[in-house]
Amino acid sequence: MFGNTEVSYLRTLPLERQREVLDSLFQEELACVVVTKGIDPPQALAEACEKAGLTLMRTPLLSSAFIQQVQSFLEESLTESSSLHGVLIDVFGVGVLLLGKSGIGKSEIALDLVMRGHRLVADDIVDVTRRRQGVVYGTGNAVIRHHMEIRGLGIINIKDLFGVAATRASKTVELVVKLERWEEHREYDRLGLDENVYELFGVRVPLICMPVAPGRNLATLVEVAARNQLLRSRGLNAARDLVERLERQLQEQETPPDSEEEPRSGEPR
């Protein structure tokens, strides 16, 4: 990148010296050359770029603004990314990723949550990226963004039906809820002490395996799970606190109170 300072310095050099400096610089592995602030590139710079086979570009942006935009673009373009079959929704400010087999009811749960005032990020295809260490973002696929498939209804547009406030472009993935068919003889976690995780690009996201059965209000359960995740992120764990309280109570019951010694015969009571 050549800004006002670099171009001004280059022009103070004799033409042959300019060519020597640029030839030496362009021996490095460069992607392109950009002149900022709308400055006309010196003739020696244009010749050196053509000789080295480098693209020469010019932008009206200041050097600082250009660097910032390029950094943001490269972070977005070069980061790890993938696509998942699921639904991402913002529930009480918590990014909840719903996973499960096709037809298990992910979209219906998301629709119920939208009608309760929560915000849809993506349905069916969730594009996930790790933009910085320890944080995974999810966005909607550009082709089907704001759209949702509901069996029996077909394709609906959440933004058109409920307004722009019912959607958002992206959200961090902070909780994964995996929907599973209810199995009668399977043991499910009833206390919430198990801390399961779902790995996305090496980032460990809290995981809840939620059985699906007739009569269960799954939208309400997802809301409660999101609220509970907010509390856990602040160091409050209801299941752990209850177990600790029960353990203290049991210890107190097992320890007999100190009894007074019986007085000896002849001694006053």
Residues 149 and 110: beta-carbon distance below 8 Å:
no
**Token pair belonging to 69:** 């935009």
The domain that holds 60 is classified in CATH as 3.40.1390.20
In degrees and rounded to multiples of 5, residue 3 shows phi and psi of -100, -165
Q: What is the DSSP letter of 247?
A: H
* Position 269 in a domain: no
* Position 16 in a domain: yes
Torsion of CA 243, 179, 222, 106, to 10 degrees: 180
Do 46 and 98 lie in one domain? The reply is no
Do 135 and 22 lie in one domain? The reply is no
The domain that holds 144 is classified in CATH as 3.40.50.300
- Give pLDDT tens digits for 196-227: 899 998 889 999 999 888 878 999 999 999 99
Q: What is the DSSP letter of 262?
A: P
Q: What is the mean pLDDT of the chain?
A: 87
Do 149 and 191 lie in one domain? The reply is yes
pLDDT at 24 over 60: yes
Do 55 and 105 lie in one domain? The reply is no
Better-scored residue on pLDDT, 86 or 78: 86
Do 69 and 129 lie in one domain? The reply is no
Q: What does the DSSP assignment read for 96-131?
A: EEEE-STTSSHHHHHHHHHHTT-EEEEEEEEEEEEE
Residues 106 and 124: their CA atoms lie apart, in Å, by: 9
Do 176 and 47 lie in one domain? The reply is no
Amino acid at 133: Q
Domain that includes residue 24, residue range: 4-74
Task: State the pLDDT at residue 262.
Answer: 56
Whole-model pTM above 0.75? no
Do 67 and 91 lie in one domain? The reply is no
How many distinct structural domains can be found in the chain? Answer: 2
Q: Give the 3-state DSSP-derived string for 36-57, with helices as H, strands as E and coil as C.
A: CCCCCCCHHHHHHHHHHCCEEE
- Give pLDDT tens digits for 117-150: 999 999 999 999 887 777 899 999 888 989 998 8
Do 88 and 60 lie in one domain? The reply is no
Residues 147 and 141: their CA atoms lie apart, in Å, by: 10
Do 47 and 164 lie in one domain? The reply is no
Amino acid at 226: A
Angle, helix 15-25 to helix 43-52, in steps of 10 degrees: 40
* Position 163 in a domain: yes
Strands 94-99 and 175-181, bridge-based pairing: parallel
Contacts for 150-155: CB closer than 8 Å, 24+ residues apart: 150/107, 150/108, 150/111, 151/103
**Token pair belonging to 258:** 């100190």
Task: State the pLDDT at residue 234.
Answer: 82
* Position 250 in a domain: no
Domain finish residue from 16, 42, 74: 74
Average pLDDT on 94-117 reads 94
Task: State the pLDDT at residue 28.
Answer: 86
Burial 5-21 (b: 16+ CB within 10 A, else e): eebeebeeeeeeebbee
* Position 189 in a domain: yes
* Position 249 in a domain: no
Do 54 and 143 lie in one domain? The reply is no
In degrees and rounded to multiples of 5, residue 61 shows phi and psi of -70, 150
pLDDT at 178 over 70: yes
* Position 17 in a domain: yes
Do 32 and 126 lie in one domain? The reply is no
* Position 264 in a domain: no
Q: Nearest to residue 146, comparing CAs of 171, 129, 127, 163?
A: 163
Q: What does the DSSP assignment read for 142-209?
A: TTTTTEEEETTTEEEEHHHHH-GGGB-SEEE--EEEEEEE--TT----SSS---EEEEETTEEEEEEE
Tell me which residues are annotated as active site.
Answer: 85, 106, 124, 190
Do 141 and 196 lie in one domain? The reply is yes
